[in-house]
Amino acid sequence: MTLTVAIGGLGAIGLDVARALDRGVDGLRLIAVSARDKDRARANVAGFAAPPAVVDLPELAQADIVVEAAPAAVFEQIAGPAIAAGRIFVPSSVGALLPRMHLVEQARATGARIVVPTGALLGLDAVRACAEGAVDSVTIESRKPPKGLVGAPYLDQHGIDVLAVTAPTVIFEGNAFDAAAGFPANVNVAAALALAGIGPQRTTVQIWADPGVTRNIHTIRVEAAAARLTMTVENVPSEANPRTGKLTPLSVLACLRGLTSTLKIGS
- Sites of contact with ligand NAI (CB under 6 A): 9-14, 34-37, 57, 69-72, 74, 92-94, 119-121, 185, 188-189, 192, 240-241, 244, 248
Distance of CA 189 to the CA centre of its chain: 7
Cβ proximity to ligand OAA, 87 vs 144, nearer residue: 144
Minimum separation from the CB atom of position 228 to ligand OAA (A): 23
List the catalytic residue out of 87, 143, 144, 218: 218
Rounded to a whole number of angstroms, the minimum distance from the CB of residue 182 to ligand OAA is 13
Closest CB to ligand OAA among 44 and 248?
248
CB atoms within 10 A of CB 68: 31
Among 20, 83, 189, 229, binds ligand OAA (CB under 6 A): 189
Dist CA 234 CA 215 (whole Å): 6
Binding flag, residue 235, ligand OAA (CB under 6 A): yes
218 is catalytic: yes
Q: Which whole-number Å values give the CA distances from 14 to 183, 244, 253, in the listed order?
A: 20, 11, 10
Is the CB of residue 237 less than 8 Å from the CB of residue 145? yes
Is the sign of the CA dihedral 255, 259, 262, 267 positive or negative? positive
| Partner that binds at residue 187, options ligand OAA, ligand NAI, none, CB closer than 5 to 8 Å by kind | ligand OAA
DSSP one-letter string for 25-68: BTTEEEEEEE-SSHHHHHHHHTTSSSPPEE--GGGGGGSSEEEE
Q: Which residues bind ligand OAA (CB under 6 A)?
A: 120, 142, 186-189, 216, 235, 243-245, 248
Catalytic positions, written as ranges = 218
